[in-house]
A and B are shown apart, each in its own frame.
Chain A
Amino acid sequence: MTHGSSSPRTIGVEGLSRVEGEGSLRVVVHDGQVTDVALEIFEPPRYFEAMLVGRHFTEAPDITARICGICPVAYQMSACAAMEDACGVTVDADVTSLRRLLYCGEWIQSHALHVYFLHAPDFLGYADAVELAEHDRATVERGLAIKRTGNLLMETIGGRAVHPVNVRVGGFYSAPDPAAVAALADPLRRAREDALATVEWVSGLEFPDVTGDYRFVALTEPGRYAVEGGRPSSSDGLNVSPGEFARLVVEEHVERSTALHARLGGHDEYLTGPLARYALNSSVLSPLAAEAAAAAGLGPVCTNPFQSIVVRAVELVFACDEALSLVDAYEPPDPPAAEMIPRAGTGTGATEAPRGLLFHHYEIDEEGTILNARIVPPTSQNQITIEADLRRVAQDGLDLSDDDLQWRCEQAVRNHDPCISCAAHFLDVNVVRD
């Protein structure tokens, strides 16, 4: 890299670390101005969409779960919701509650992973969680303990901690034993205490003073924090059905990128994920989570992307709290799954993955064969907004050294916990400037 004034200065990050999956980042600075920002993302859902065509509608949850090792439940839940929509089936409240409990397990796993192992090292100047553990063992042990509780929940409800095997269209293959569910209460209480300590810990980190002008989009549900269902809503008044939302989201191919870029109505960029969920749902957080948010200094809306780590920690408290309530109220669904009779038609399912709104849209025939599949993960919806964040952060940080600017840019990407995974975790990062 050079610092002359005539040729472009490119900051190229060939290995964007601590982001799940594959991707690369390129920032070009010319004459003191950021002239180009490109976050390249490999999007596995595109491949899975093609693979689903011709498969039976009941296979969608298990196939799409393999898209991501971090958020398989999100893929399963959105697939189930879409197929049930297509078949005109509404599942029982007990099934919905059990799904919400399983989903809490995934939020706990995923948020603990991101907060402690992927994001916190950025703020503390450590290269990774290994260094953090070597300097602060107790803190990392706390993160591991929280994550382990998420694993336990997934194992108990889903039959396996990674890629649960108990989920089916219509509900579950079997209802977990009430005694096994009741046994989750003590670990969840400990995890809730640890989550509260997490909020206190991350709220004391030092955050760059950055404000994003975001159009937030998240699911909302009357009276409760949306997780496994709800209506897509926005901070500027949108409130539509998942099917209508799928019609509004237009994805376009950008020549320089292999990723599709999503816009609402074909023109408006937006942001999904914890900041959006919190902005649209903070009034219905559980009292304990709301108290933790207030103590951390969060108002009803947080627009500093670097503080997303605090919002995730608050959602950790919420997920533990909500899971405890669901465990206390657990009634085994009987039957564990609704009867599913396929019919020709289309269906859309939208749920809140840890990283944001994830929707599936399918067309099936009368035999239940999938004719078309569309899977839109939160990261592709956030792509344009993440690049806008990068542009702002890079411009504000031009006085930094190349290494520090690269660090800051990577951190700006990790703020949104992009899930660009599909497991063969290669990642390329690039920054260029003149």
Chain B
Amino acid sequence: MVVAGLGHEYRRDDGVGPLVAARAAGLTEAAHDVGPLADPLDLLGRWDGASLAIVVDAVRSGAPPGTIRLVELEPGATAVGGNSPTTSTHGIGLAGVFRLARAVGQAPARVVVVGIEGEDFGRGPGLSPAVEAAVPGAVRRVADLIKGAGSCA
């Protein structure tokens, strides 16, 4: 089981993914934190063959900042969350990387994205208050997934 945080700590709320992933993975030895990763493509080679890959990422979908959303990637998914490929803060879509991994037989059995709605993607360290407040809840959701108690909304 692997956990990966995507994002950049010097781009405000974009840094929430690595922060949550590191905290959640630190609570258990059942999952290995393979991040922080700057780009979804970096998942290739790091999540190969995992029974479950949990990817934590900031998202921008129009929901209130700090909203936590769990999405299990379907094999044929073209975007995360059913919106445009730019729902993720990353130009190379996570869904695309999953498709790529499947095409070359290196995909994890399951991929669950824990998305945290971001508000400020400007330059600088530190999260906006709403996203900061969502961190403990996001860590719990990831920890629940690791324990097998989580469910995908």
Contact = CB atoms under 8 A, between A and B. Distances in A.
B117 interface: no
B8 A163 contact: no
Contacts of B104: 133, 137, 140-141, 144
A44 B14 contact: no
B152 interface: no
B55 to A, nearest CB: 15
Contacts of A144: 44-45, 104, 106
Contacts of B30: none
B38 interface: yes
Contacts of B44: 144, 147
Contacts of B99: 130, 133-134
Interface stretch (B67-75, B84-92, B127-135): B84-92
Given A66-B8, A133-B103, A141-B104, A423 B91 contact: no
Interface string B116-145: 000001011000000000000000000000
Contact of A69 (B42, B86, B96, B123): B42
Contacts of B11: 422-424
Given A66-B10, A130-B99, A15 B91 contact: yes
Contacts of B121: 424, 426
A434 interface: no
Contacts of B46: 161
A115 to B, nearest CB: 13
| Most central of A117, A161, A424 by chain B CB within 10 Å | A424
Interface in B9-28: 9-11, 14
Nearest to A137: B104
A423 B39 contact: yes
B93 to A, nearest CB: 9
A424 B57 CA distance: 11
Interface residues of B, number: 31
Nearest to A141: B104
A424 B38 CA distance: 8
Contacts of A20: 39
Nearest to B37: A162
Interface in A128-151: 128-130, 133-134, 137, 140-141, 144, 147-148, 151
A70 B90 CA distance: 14
B7 interface: yes
A423 B96 contact: no
A327 to B, nearest CB: 20
Contact of B103 (A47, A69, A137, A427): A137
Contacts of B10: 44, 47-48, 51, 66, 422
Nearest to A138: B104
A162 B91 contact: no
Interface in B35-65: 35-39, 41-42, 44-46
Contacts of B90: 423-425
A162 B103 contact: no
Contact of B100 (A17, A130, A162): A130
A423 B37 CA distance: 9
Contacts of A140: 100, 103-104
A111 to B, nearest CB: 14
A421 B45 contact: no
A113 interface: yes
A420 to B, nearest CB: 11
A325 B25 CA distance: 38
Nearest to A135: B103
B37 to A, nearest CB: 6
Interface string A41-63: 00010011001000000000000
Given A15-B91, A422-B8, A117 B41 contact: yes
A272 B14 CA distance: 31
Interface string A239-275: 0000000000000000000000000000000000000
19 contacts: A15-B91, A44-B10, A47-B123, A47-B124, A66-B10, A69-B37, A69-B39, A133-B100, A133-B104, A134-B103, A141-B104, A161-B46, A162-B38, A163-B38, A421-B38, A422-B11, A424-B8, A425-B91, A427-B91
Interface of A: 15, 17-18, 20, 44, 47-48, 51, 66, 68-70, 113, 117, 128-130, 133-134, 137, 140-141, 144, 147-148, 151, 161-163, 421-427
Interface of B: 7-11, 14, 35-39, 41-42, 44-46, 86, 89-92, 96, 99-100, 103-106, 121, 123-124
